[in-house]
Structure 1
Amino acid sequence: MPQEMKLADEKFCFECGEAIKMKAEICPKCGVRQYSSSGLGVAAPNGKNKLAAALFALLLGGFGIHKFYLGKAGQGILFLIFCWTFIPALIGFIEGILFLTMSDQSFAQKYGTV
């Protein structure tokens, strides 16, 4: 089957571009894990969701909740220590906007490691 053609129950592999079944978690051709799609965006291979991280950063970024969610506990503790200065809130707001503008693939590459 040509690479440009796919059936209704198929999708393209993120790595090699081969048409694979929609429910496939791993591409049978190249062996790369596929990103799972939920109703609220694409989840990274470790289950972290870009939209959830962005909402945590925008709403609770001053306390570093988004850092804890993304597995960066040291930075989260630093945000908690300095939350009274409102600097972490400003940084969290900026990071939330960056998460929303970041592509799903770049989010998965940066924060999707298991």
Structure 2
Amino acid sequence: MQHLDCPQCSKKIDLNLVSCPQCHAAQGLEAFSGVDPDIRIKNQKLAIWFGFLFGGLGLHKFYLGQHLKGSLYLVFSWTLVPIVVGWVDAVRTLKMSPFNFQQRYCRREGQHYI
């Protein structure tokens, strides 16, 4: 009989068990149940860097899934106004709590039909 270590409590458990009898932590692929594969996680620090470095081109808006706003930044990039607005967006994102960032930008992607 094969055994493995529980990732939570490090107790030796049978390979075929779904959860650890000691700490009741899910094992194997069952640990990932309930995770929605359609949710796209965004990185707040990366969005801030994109806003500071490439805000004039709207890269941070494209990264956050706001393609229309990103396109407007790109169209008006020759006016240099999007650079300043990109810096303001970066500062606002920097001041945002991680929870609020996740609530606002980490959503399910819409249905895509061919």
TM-score band (shorter)?
0.5 to 0.7
Change over 3 Å in CA distance of 1:25–1:90 after alignment to 2: farther
RMSD between aligned residues: 2.8
What TM-score, normalized to structure 2? 0.61
The match for 2:90 is 96
Gaps of 5+ in 1: 1-8, 10-20, 34-44
Gaps of 5+ in 2: 1-7, 9-24, 26-30, 109-114
- Counterpart pick for 1:111 among 96, 105, 111: 105
Q: Partners in 1 of 2:85 and 2:49 — Cα distance?
A: 14
Q: Does 1:58 align with 2:56?
A: no
Change over 3 Å in CA distance of 1:96–1:46 after alignment to 2: same
Larger Rg: 2
Q: Partners in 2 of 1:91 and 1:110 — Cα distance?
A: 19
What TM-score, normalized to structure 1? 0.61
Aligned length, in residue pairs: 83
- The 3-state SS of whatever aligns with 1:46 is coil
Question: Whose strand proportion is higher, 1 or 2?
Answer: 1
- Post-superposition offset of 1:25: 6.2
User: Percent identity among equivalent residues?
Assistant: 39
